[in-house]
Amino acid sequence: MARHGMYRRSLLFALPAISATRVRVVAAELGGIWARHDPSSKTLVDHGTWAQLLQDCVRVGPGGAKRFSYGAVNEVQRGKLGGYLTRLAATPVSSLARPEQKAFWINLYNAAAVQLVLAHYPVGSIRDIEPEGGGVLGAGPWRLALVRIEGRELSLDDILHGILRPQWRDPRVLYATCMAAIGSPDLQPAPFLAAGLDEALDEAAMAYVNDPRGLTIEDGQLRISALYRWFEADFGGSAGAVIRHLMACASPDLAMRLQGFREAGELAFDWRLNDTAALD
């Protein structure tokens, strides 16, 4: 579905997670390891525990935006989430078929991010979670080793930039992996599964593009989420390609309105935690 100028850049919070150079290094380090798969495998990973937590804690706010009730997660649910991540860590990922792997990594990223926030909750933003021993203020926790898969410790950066993006080269994974921020694509109320995965990714993309967090058109000016600058290469490598991608995901009326634009300004990215407590 994604159809693949430069931006007029306004002041906004910069992405602290990873540089382009770091992306290349991470992808090079992990690319060969996680390219292994078994196309004949029929094994399905059980995401039932994650499904229940999402069902219990994802709430739909004004305008349809989804938030997670971090403060409502009890000790039993925390324990079940930990058990789910332990089971994922024990999964021989390289023996799975590719669609099952893709869903696995997306769910692992989101569940690990939620567990990370819960371990530091209450917190106003995931960027406030700093590595022990200090570091660059606002650098956030994206390089913290959170899970060991097939003997290798992985961070959120590793999962997204070293595995999902380079292995699948599918910009829709950026709509499926939640940054735990209000400005990011939503944490969906159900796990991603190999069956129906393309449809679920399409829906996640369309939900963000058609939301004011994804883009706005006011007074004749198009402004789009900073997400599209940070990951411009994934969306085609130019402002024009990004806009064509947005048109492919937009509602018919919005797609018509986008036709005349060749460049875009930026929307400031809202890094507040995607918590129900932050609902306006």
- For residue 9, the model assigns a pLDDT of 31
The answer, as to whether pTM is greater than 0.85, is yes
- For residue 118, the model assigns a pLDDT of 98
Question: How is residue 118 written in tokens?
Answer: 């819960």
- For residue 16, the model assigns a pLDDT of 45
Q: How far apart are CA 158 and CA 144, in angstroms?
A: 10
- For residue 148, the model assigns a pLDDT of 96
- For residue 1, the model assigns a pLDDT of 41
In the three-class reduction of DSSP (H, G, I as helix; E, B as strand; rest coil), residue 270 is classed as coil
- For residue 48, the model assigns a pLDDT of 98
Let me know: does 106 contact 164? Beta carbons within 8 Å: yes
pLDDT at residue 2 tops 60 = no
In the three-class reduction of DSSP (H, G, I as helix; E, B as strand; rest coil), residue 134 is classed as coil
6-10, 234-238, 274-278: range with highest mean pLDDT: 234-238
pLDDT at residue 135 tops 90 = no
- For residue 3, the model assigns a pLDDT of 33
- For residue 24, the model assigns a pLDDT of 52
pLDDT at residue 143 tops 50 = yes
Share of the chain above pLDDT 70, in %: 85
- Residues in contact with 97: Cβ distance below 8 Å, sequence separation at least 6, in sequence order: 37, 38, 39, 40, 41, 42, 43, 194
- For residue 136, the model assigns a pLDDT of 53
How do the residues of the chain divide into helix, strand and coil, expressed in percent and rounded to 5?
50, 10, 40
- In tens, the pLDDT along 16-69 reads 444 555 555 555 565 568 899 999 999 999 999 999 999 999 999 877 889 999
Q: Of residues 4 and 259, which shows the higher confidence score? A: 259
Q: How far apart are CA 119 and CA 92, in angstroms?
A: 27
Q: Over range 213-233, report the average pLDDT.
A: 97
- For residue 22, the model assigns a pLDDT of 55
Query: Any idea which residue has 């058609």 for tokens?
Result: 210
pLDDT band at 183 (very low <50, low <70, confident <90, very high): very high
pLDDT at residue 280 tops 70 = no
Q: How far apart are CA 212 and CA 235, in angstroms?
A: 19
- For residue 278, the model assigns a pLDDT of 62
- For residue 11, the model assigns a pLDDT of 26
Query: Which of 196, 201, 191 lies closest to 84, judged by CA?
Result: 191
- For residue 109, the model assigns a pLDDT of 98
Let me know: does 267 contact 230? Beta carbons within 8 Å: no
Q: How far apart are CA 228 and CA 243, in angstroms?
A: 9
pLDDT at residue 138 tops 90 = no
Query: Which of 49, 50, 67 lies closest to 58, judged by CA?
Result: 67
- Residues in contact with 240: Cβ distance below 8 Å, sequence separation at least 6, in sequence order: 5, 262
Q: Is the peptide bond before 99 cis (omega within 30 degrees of 0)?
A: no
Q: Report the chain's mean pLDDT, rounded to a whole number.
A: 89
Let me know: does 126 contact 181? Beta carbons within 8 Å: yes
- For residue 61, the model assigns a pLDDT of 81
Report the phi/psi class of residue 70: left, alpha or beta, with left for phi > 0 and alpha for psi in -120 to 50.
Answer: alpha
- For residue 12, the model assigns a pLDDT of 32
pLDDT at residue 6 tops 90 = no
CA angle 9, 14, 19 (to 5 degrees): 105
